Amino acid sequence: MDNEEILISAVYQLFDNAKSMYGDIIENYWFYDGETCPGCGRQIDTLKFGDEDAISLNAYMYRDMDTLIAYLLCSNCASEIFRKSKKSKAIYPKIEENLKNSYLDFVKKSSS
Ligand SMILES: [Zn+2]
């Protein structure tokens, strides 16, 4: 499998897990596949775990739309959040706002 296939299967797995955890609460699933990090606008890059490259795959529940959004973070934001640093608290609202806007754009485009 190449990286993209690995990513796609990871996203599906995440959606599957979420479905068994939350069931009918989630009506839609969406993957934010932008090139840039929703936390800071940098290019998405990989994290290093020893010799392995890893990506930071996360999910956000957009309750108003009953939609679970999966997204990637850059290595900077991912490590801030992983460390639960003070900065990480400031990253979350940005991520949420960017994801909501992108999703609403997507919905508008697909309905027109
Ligand atoms: Zn970032």
Reported as a single tens digit per residue, the pLDDT across 6-65 is 889 999 999 999 999 888 899 999 999 888 999 999 999 988 878 888 889 999 999 999
Cα of 7 from ligand 1 centre, angstroms = 18
Cα of 80 from ligand 1 centre, angstroms = 9
Cα of 77 from ligand 1 centre, angstroms = 4
Dist CA 105 CA 78 (whole Å): 25
Cα of 44 from ligand 1 centre, angstroms = 7
Sheet strands (E) in 2-84:
28-32, 47-49, 52-54, 56-62, 67-73
Reported as a single tens digit per residue, the pLDDT across 66-112 is 999 999 999 999 999 988 888 889 999 999 999 999 999 999 999 87
Contact 40, 91 (CB under 8 A): yes
Cα of 112 from ligand 1 centre, angstroms = 31
Cα distances (Å, whole numbers) of residue 90 to 46, 57, 87, 95, 98: 22, 19, 5, 9, 13
Number of residues written out for the chain: 112
Cα of 48 from ligand 1 centre, angstroms = 15
pLDDT recorded at residue 85: 86
pLDDT recorded at residue 23: 85
Task: Give the HSE-up count for residue 58: Cα atoms under 13 Å, Cβ half-sphere.
Answer: 22
Cα of 91 from ligand 1 centre, angstroms = 8
Q: Which of 52, 108, 43 is nearest to 73 (CA)?
A: 43
